[in-house]
Amino acid sequence: LHLDSLDVLKNIQTFSQRGKMIRGGLVALSYTLFTPTVRSSIMEEITRIGAALELLQSSLLIHDDIMDRDTIRRGVYSFYYNYHEIAKKRSLRDPYHTGESLGICGGDIAFFLAFDILSTLHLNNEMNMEILGLCAREMFIVGVAQMLDVYRGADTAMLDENAIINLYMYKTGRYTYALPLKIGALISNIDYHYMHTLQTVGELLGTVFQIVDDDIGLFGNEEEAGKPIGSDLKEGKKTLYLCKIYNKAGEKDRERICSCLGNSQITMKGIEYIRSLVIRLGVRDELYKQSLEMTDRAYSLAASLPIVSEKAKDIFHWFIDFNMKRMK
Amino acid sequence: LHLDSLDVLKNIQTFSQRGKMIRGGLVALSYTLFTPTVRSSIMEEITRIGAALELLQSSLLIHDDIMDRDTIRRGVYSFYYNYHEIAKKRSLRDPYHTGESLGICGGDIAFFLAFDILSTLHLNNEMNMEILGLCAREMFIVGVAQMLDVYRGADTAMLDENAIINLYMYKTGRYTYALPLKIGALISNIDYHYMHTLQTVGELLGTVFQIVDDDIGLFGNEEEAGKPIGSDLKEGKKTLYLCKIYNKAGEKDRERICSCLGNSQITMKGIEYIRSLVIRLGVRDELYKQSLEMTDRAYSLAASLPIVSEKAKDIFHWFIDFNMKRMK
C-alpha cells in the first residue's frame, strides 16, 4: 500500500498549516490563564492537543468546501479542488467527482489522525479520556449544525435571526472557542462550576468571530477572506447580514435580494447592491453594536473566572479585543 | 438547535442495524476464544465497542456510497440518496448535491458518535486508550486505501493482481477482521506476540470475504448483494475477477471488457458476457481455489493461537468455514 502515492499526508499538513491556528492557541492560552506554574511537559501535551484540534478543523473545512463547491480556501485551491486538478491533468474519468471523492477521504483521514494523536496523550488517564470525549461530542454537535446549515442553504425560505445566531453559537462558538478553552481549563484542574461560564464566554466570542467573518466576506478583500468576495452570497448562505436586510427591506428590494442569494452568476454590481443595502438600512452599524455588546458580556463573565495573575488577565483581554477588532 | 429535525440519529441507527454486524460480533468472539472465564461486565463493554465499530462501518459506507453514486445499500435507498429524495420532495435547491452534502455530514456524525462511545469505556484506562488508538489508526489506513481505490477506479489503466489483493487486505482484512479480533485479544490480555498471528488470520479471512463479495456482486442476486447486480462494473471497480479475465483475454475480448468497465449504461447482456468470460477462462474456479488456500492458511495459523477450549476452537472453525461458504 503506497501511502504517499497521493501525497495525502503532505496535503493535509500543508492545508492545516495555512490556518489561523486559533483552536490550538486557545488551549494553551486557557491553561496559562488558570495555572500558577506552567509546566513544560504539560505544554508539550497541549501542543499535541492543539495539533489534533487543527486537524479536526482541517477535516471539517475539507468537507465544507465540497458541500459549498468552494474552489479556493486559505488563498489557494481548496483540498478537493486540488485533487480535481490532479485528476484532470492525469486524464482520470469524471475528474470533478473524483476530486470530491478524494476530498471526502482526505477529510476522513484528517479526523482519524486527530483521534490517533488524542489517543496517545500522556496526561493522567482519566483526563485523556475526558478530553477525547469532549472532542467527539463537540464534533458531533458541529456535524449536526452543519447539516442544518446545508439544509437551510438549500431551502428557499428565509430564516429568523435567532435561528442564525443559534447556528453561529453551535458551529463556531462551542467548537472553535468553548472547546479549546474548556480543554485548557480541564488540564488546569479548575473547579467544574467555572466550566459553564467558560462555555458561555466561548459562545459569545465565537458568535462575534462569525459575524466579523461574514463582514469580511462581504466588505473585505479576497486576500483577507482567503476566498472570493461574495462567495457566501453565491452559495445561498443566509448570514445575519442578509437576514437583517431582508427583514428591513421593502417588497421590491426583497425580490432583488432573493435573486442574488444562491446565484452563482452574481456580478460585482449585485454584490455592490447588497453592500449598499447593508449600510443604508443600518445593518452594519447594528451588527457592530451587537458584537460590541457580546464582547462586553464576555468581558464581565471573564472577570468572575479564577485567572491566576494580572498578566494573564491582560493577555485574555487582549484576545477578546482582538477577536472584535478584526472588524474595523 | 433542533437535533432531530433531519432525523439524523434515527437514520444512522436504522442504517447501522441493517448491517451484518460482523465487526461487533468478532470482538465478542475473540474475547471468548482467549478468556477462560468470560465476565459479563466485560461483555457489556464489548457490546459498546461493537456498537462503535458498527458506527464506524456505517460512516465509511455512507461516504462510499456518495463516491460510488450508489443509490441502493443494504436493500434500501443509500443514506445520502434518501436525503436526496427528501430534498426533492421539499423542493430544496439542487437536491442531488444537497443529498450528497447531508450524507457527508451524516457519515462524519457517525464517526464522532463512535469515538464518543469509545471515550466512555470502562475497561482499565490504558486499555481504553489503546483500543481508541487501534481504531483511529486502522480507520486511517482504510481511508488511505479508499483513496487508492477511488483513484484506481477513475484511472483507465488496468492493475496487476497483487495491487488488488493488497487493497483487499487493507480495506477488509485489516479493518473488518483483524481490528475486532485484536481488540478482543487485547481485552483478554493474551501475550502480545500472538497479535501478529491474529492480524495475519484477519487479513486472510478478510481477503476471502472480499473475493466472495465480488462473486456475489457478479453472480448473486440483488437481494443477497443488497445492491444492484453489476454495480461494481458500472462503477469501474477493478475487482480480482475483472483483472484476471483481462489478463487472460485476447485483444478483442479486452476491448469489450474495457467498454463494459465504468459504463453506467451497461445492459444485462453486457453483464452476462462478463459472467461467461469469468467462467470460460477458469477465473471463478481459480479464485475459489485461492480462497480455499487462504482459508486453509488461516486454519493452520489459528492452531497456534492460545484458544482456551475445544468448544471455543469449534466456534472459531465454524466461523472460518462460514466466511468461505457464503460462496457456494
Of A69, A87, A150, the CB nearest to B102: A150
Flag if B140 and A113 touch (Cβ within 8 Å). yes
User: Secondary structure of chain B: what % helix, strand, coil (to 5)?
Assistant: 75, 0, 25
Could you tell me which of A297, A294, A287 has the C-alpha nearest to residue A240?
A287
Of B115, B154, B170, the CB nearest to A92: B154
Task: Check residue A1 and give its pLDDT.
Answer: 46
Interface test with A, best of B140, B162, B167 (most A CBs within 10 A): B140
Q: What is the DSSP string of B245-265?
A: HHHHS-HHHHHHHHHHTT-TT
Task: Check residue A206 and give its pLDDT.
Answer: 93
- Judging contacts by C-beta atoms under 8 Å, the chain A residues touching residue B166 are 1
- Judging contacts by C-beta atoms under 8 Å, the chain A residues touching residue B155 are 90, 92-93
- Label residue B309 exposed, middle or buried (CB < 10 Å: 0-12, 13-18, 19+): exposed
Distance between CA B238 and CA B249 in Å, rounded? 15
Of B6, B128, B156, the CB nearest to A147: B6
Could you tell me which of A229, A231, A281 has the C-alpha nearest to residue A254?
A281
Of A120, A139, A144, the CB nearest to B133: A120
What sign for the dihedral angle of Cα A93, A97, A100, A105?
Answer: negative
Flag if A115 and B104 touch (Cβ within 8 Å). no
Flag if B170 and A113 touch (Cβ within 8 Å). no
- Judging contacts by C-beta atoms under 8 Å, the chain B residues touching residue A133 are 116, 119-120
- Judging contacts by C-beta atoms under 8 Å, the chain B residues touching residue A144 are 1, 3, 8, 105, 109
| Lookup result for grid cell 453592500 | A275
CA distances from A16 to A24, A223, A327, B26, B159 (A): 11, 18, 24, 36, 33
Q: Which residues have CB under 8 Å from B62's CB, separation 6+?
A: B15, B78, B79, B80, B103, B106, B107, B110
Q: Which residues have CB under 8 Å from B229's CB, separation 6+?
A: B217, B218, B220, B221, B222, B271
Flag if A143 and B101 touch (Cβ within 8 Å). no
**Could you report the per-residue pLDDT of B42-53, keeping only the tens digit for each?**
999 999 999 999
What sign for the dihedral angle of Cα A279, A283, A286, A291?
Answer: negative
**Could you report the per-residue pLDDT of A188-214, keeping only the tens digit for each?**
999 999 999 999 999 999 999 999 999
Flag if A129 and B133 touch (Cβ within 8 Å). no
Integer distance in angstroms from the first to the last C-alpha of chain A?
51
- Judging contacts by C-beta atoms under 8 Å, the chain B residues touching residue A148 are 1-2, 5-6
- Judging contacts by C-beta atoms under 8 Å, the chain A residues touching residue B97 are 67, 69
Bridge pairing between strands B72-73 and A72-73: unpaired
- Judging contacts by C-beta atoms under 8 Å, the chain B residues touching residue A97 are 67, 69
Grid cell of B223 as nine digits: 437481494
Q: For A101, name the nearest residue in chain B, comparing CA atoms only.
A: B67
Name the pLDDT band for A6 (thresholds 50, 70, 90). confident
Torsion region of A92: left, alpha or beta (phi above 0 gives left; psi -120 to 50 gives alpha): beta
Distance between CA A279 and CA B228 in Å, rounded? 56
Q: Which residues have CB under 8 Å from A309's CB, separation 6+?
A: A36
Average pLDDT estimate for B267-274: 92
Could you tell me which of B130, A191, B261 has the C-alpha nearest to residue B253?
B261
Q: What does the mean pLDDT of chain A come to?
A: 91
Task: Check residue A327 and give its pLDDT.
Answer: 55
- Judging contacts by C-beta atoms under 8 Å, the chain A residues touching residue B167 are 1
Could you tell me which of B55, B43, B71, B49 has the C-alpha nearest to residue B11?
B55
Q: What is the DSSP letter of B127?
A: H
Flag if B63 and A108 touch (Cβ within 8 Å). yes
Residue B112 three-state SS: helix
Q: What does the mean pLDDT of chain B come to?
A: 91
- Judging contacts by C-beta atoms under 8 Å, the chain B residues touching residue A2 are 148
**Could you report the per-residue pLDDT of B132-175, keeping only the tens digit for each?**
999 999 999 999 999 988 998 888 787 788 889 988 998 888 88
pLDDT at A29 over 80: yes
SS (H, E, C) chain A: CCCCCCCHHHHHHHHHHCCCCHHHHHHHHHHHHHCCCCCHHHHHHHHHHHHHHHHHHHHHHHHHHHHHCCCEECCEECHHHHHHHHHHHCCCCCHHHHHHHHHHHHHHHHHHHHHHHHCCCCCCHHHHHHHHHHHHHHHHHHHHHHHHHHHHHHCCCCCCHHHHHHHHHHHHHHHHHHHHHHHHHHHCCCCCHHHHHHHHHHHHHHHHHHHHHHHHHHHCCHHHHCCCCCHHHHCCCCCHHHHHHHHHCCHHHHHHHHHHCCCCCCCHHHHHHHHHHHHHCCHHHHHHHHHHHHHHHHHHHHHCCCCCCHHHHHHHHHHHHHHHHCCC
Flag if B132 and A136 touch (Cβ within 8 Å). no
Q: What is the dihedral of CA B17, B22, B28, B33, to 10 degrees?
A: 160
Grid cell of A225 as nine digits: 477572506
Of A92, A105, A141, the CB nearest to B143: A105
Distance between CA B153 and CA B166 in Å, rounded? 15
Bridge pairing between strands B72-73 and A76-77: unpaired
Q: Are A94 and B235 in contact (CB under 8 A)?
A: no
Angle in degrees, CA A96, A106, B102, rounded to 5: 70
- Judging contacts by C-beta atoms under 8 Å, the chain B residues touching residue A262 are 93
Flag if A148 and B6 touch (Cβ within 8 Å). yes
Percent of all residues in chain B with a pLDDT value above 70, rounded to a whole number: 98
Name the pLDDT band for B327 (thresholds 50, 70, 90). low
Name the pLDDT band for B127 (thresholds 50, 70, 90). very high
**Could you report the per-residue pLDDT of B285-307, keeping only the tens digit for each?**
999 999 999 999 999 999 999 99
pLDDT at B178 over 70: yes
Q: Are A301 and A200 in contact (CB under 8 A)?
A: yes
Q: For B121, name the nearest residue in chain A, comparing CA atoms only.
A: A129
Task: Check residue A317 and give its pLDDT.
Answer: 93
Interface test with A, best of B63, B98, B121, B132 (most A CBs within 10 A): B132
pLDDT at A328 over 50: no
pTM of this prediction? 0.91
- B223 or B5: which leads in pLDDT: B223
Q: Are A42 and A123 in contact (CB under 8 A)?
A: yes
**Cβ density class B280-289: b for 16+ within 10 Å, e for less:** ebebbeebee
- Judging contacts by C-beta atoms under 8 Å, the chain A residues touching residue B132 are 115, 118-119, 132
Flag if B144 and A109 touch (Cβ within 8 Å). yes
What sign for the dihedral angle of Cα B31, B36, B40, B41?
Answer: negative
- Judging contacts by C-beta atoms under 8 Å, the chain B residues touching residue A45 are none
CA A163 to chain B, closest CA, distance in angstroms equals 8
Flag if B112 and A139 touch (Cβ within 8 Å). yes
Distance between CA A287 and CA B127 in Å, rounded? 50
Grid cell of B19 as nine digits: 448491517
**Cβ density class A191-211: b for 16+ within 10 Å, e for less:** eeebeeebbbbbbbbbbbbbb
Mean pLDDT check: name the lowest of A5-9, A114-118, B304-308: A5-9
Task: Check residue B230 and give its pLDDT.
Answer: 84
Q: Are B79 and B62 in contact (CB under 8 A)?
A: yes
Bridge pairing between strands B72-73 and B76-77: antiparallel
Q: What number of other Cβ atoms are within 10 A of residue B230's Cβ?
A: 22
Could you tell me which of B181, B208, B212, B141 has the C-alpha nearest to residue B24?
B181
Which H or E run includes B126? helix B125-154
Average pLDDT estimate for A69-88: 91
Task: Check residue B1 and give its pLDDT.
Answer: 46
- Judging contacts by C-beta atoms under 8 Å, the chain A residues touching residue B60 are 108
Flag if B66 and A111 touch (Cβ within 8 Å). no
Name the pLDDT band for A231 (thresholds 50, 70, 90). confident
Flag if B137 and A116 touch (Cβ within 8 Å). yes
Flag if B101 and A66 touch (Cβ within 8 Å). yes
CA B268 to chain A, closest CA, distance in angstroms equals 23
Residue type at B101? S
pLDDT at A293 over 90: yes
Flag if B112 and A137 touch (Cβ within 8 Å). yes
CA A316 to chain B, closest CA, distance in angstroms equals 29
Distance between CA A316 and CA B297 in Å, rounded? 62
Interface test with A, best of B6, B70, B105, B139 (most A CBs within 10 A): B105
pLDDT at B228 over 50: yes
**Could you report the per-residue pLDDT of B67-90, keeping only the tens digit for each?**
999 898 878 899 999 999 999 999
Flag if B93 and A154 touch (Cβ within 8 Å). yes
Of B98, B111, B130, the CB nearest to A150: B98
Main-chain dihedrals φ then ψ at residue A256, nearest 5 degrees: -70, -35
- Label residue A285 exposed, middle or buried (CB < 10 Å: 0-12, 13-18, 19+): exposed
